[in-house]
Amino acid sequence: MSDELDKLLARLKEIQAEGSQEINQAVNKEKLNDIRVKFMGRKGKLTEILHSMKDVAPENRRTLGQQVNSLRDKFQASLDQANQDLTHKLIEQRLEEEKLDVTLPGREPLMGSKHVLRIMEDDLEKFFIGMGYQVVQGPEIETDHYCFEMMNLPKDHPARDMQATFWIDDEHLLRTQTSGDQARVLEKHDCSQGPLKMVGPGKVYRRDDDDATHSHQFMQMEGLVVDKHVTMGDLKGTLEMIAKHVFGSTETRLRPSYFPFTEPSVEMDVRCFNCGGKGCPICKYEGWIEVLGAGMVHPNVLENAGIDSNVYGGFAFGVGLDRFAILKYSIDDIRDFYTNDIRFLTQFRQEED
């Protein structure tokens, strides 16, 4: 019977060698757990030896039991140690991987910037607010009524052809001009309460083929002043101030023009700020650059809004913000405003306030 004991003790030795080796070679905690199960689990190798206890002479069982227990304790201690070592190793590894180099320069976050047309718009708004104008905002989907009829352009008026229109249905359209804002404001205005001074900036749309100087979408700023005794001299003075503010150019000229909602109508040119009038590609060798349309408010526009045109009068102007920006910043393609190339858009950052 002591043969049996010897056999089992020898087997224990093998298990010890095998277990120790496996623990030493274990590369992660999962593996250690597998080893624990393999040797000490319910069906583990040590447990198997205990099951063989019945084959051992009773007087030897104590010895075998002690040996098994002591080996289990050893395994447990080695497993605990190996577990601890692995934890340390993991921490070391993480520290190594997550090492911060505090001397590295920071990464600059990508900052948004104002669109150059917005810069233009904000700047002009401020300019007009400073002169006592209110800022209004009309709808981009406008009605035939406000965009045309109220502005002295009845349905069959030939001047409707001046602005190729995106129609939505018989009555609705994408506004071709911000002039509808004039009608909307005039209609609500009570002239007995004082003068009306407003600007209306916003997007407008025309059915044009896009090229370097045309875009089916662009921006305008409408201006309107209505009061008693408003003269063409007031209009001229205001337009000159705009030119001076935007271009720093003082020399301007008014040319006769035609708009259905103003009479007389003018267009303003500024002296070419690039060549000073000698002629260059920017002014197409004219020495002058056209910058806006304007005129004295047509009596029909006032009457349409219920204002007595014998008592009240006014002037109106419409500036193209795209055109202003193109001229001011020497931009050679209007499409750049709308194609969202971030390299183009961010270069006006220093113009922001």
- Residue nearer to ligand PHE on the CB measure, 165 or 179: 179
Q: From the CB of 125, what's the least distance to ligand PHE, in Å?
A: 17
- Residue nearer to ligand PHE on the CB measure, 56 or 316: 316
Q: From the CB of 244, what's the least distance to ligand PHE, in Å?
A: 20
Handedness of CA 27, 28, 30, 33 (dihedral sign): positive
Distance in angstroms (rounded) separating the CA atoms of residues 350 and 353:
8
Q: What single string gives the DSSP state of each residue in 273-310?
A: TTTTTS--TTTTTSSEEEEEEEEEEPHHHHHHTT--TT
What pairing do the DSSP bridges indicate for beta strands 313-320 and 166-167? unpaired
Q: From the CB of 283, what's the least distance to ligand PHE, in Å?
A: 20
Q: From the CB of 164, what's the least distance to ligand PHE, in Å?
A: 12
Q: From the CB of 117, what's the least distance to ligand PHE, in Å?
A: 16
Side-by-side strand order, sheet with 166-167: 141-143, 172-174, 166-167
Distance in angstroms (rounded) separating the CA atoms of residues 142 and 232:
29
Q: From the CB of 208, what's the least distance to ligand PHE, in Å?
A: 13
Q: From the CB of 163, what's the least distance to ligand PHE, in Å?
A: 7
Q: Which residue is nearest to ligand PHE (CB)?
A: 318
- Measured between alpha carbons, how far is residue 286 from residues 165, 283, 327, 330 in Å? 31, 6, 15, 17
- Residue nearer to ligand PHE on the CB measure, 67 or 182: 182
What pairing do the DSSP bridges indicate for beta strands 134-135 and 196-205? parallel
- Residue nearer to ligand PHE on the CB measure, 177 or 252: 177
- Residue nearer to ligand PHE on the CB measure, 44 or 314: 314
- Amino acid identity at 104: L
Query: Is 311:228 a contact under the CB 8 Å cutoff?
Result: yes
Binding site for ligand PHE (CB under 6 A): 177, 179, 222, 259, 262, 293-295, 316-318
- Residue nearer to ligand PHE on the CB measure, 82 or 307: 307
- Residue nearer to ligand PHE on the CB measure, 293 or 313: 293
Distance in angstroms (rounded) separating the CA atoms of residues 297 and 43:
102
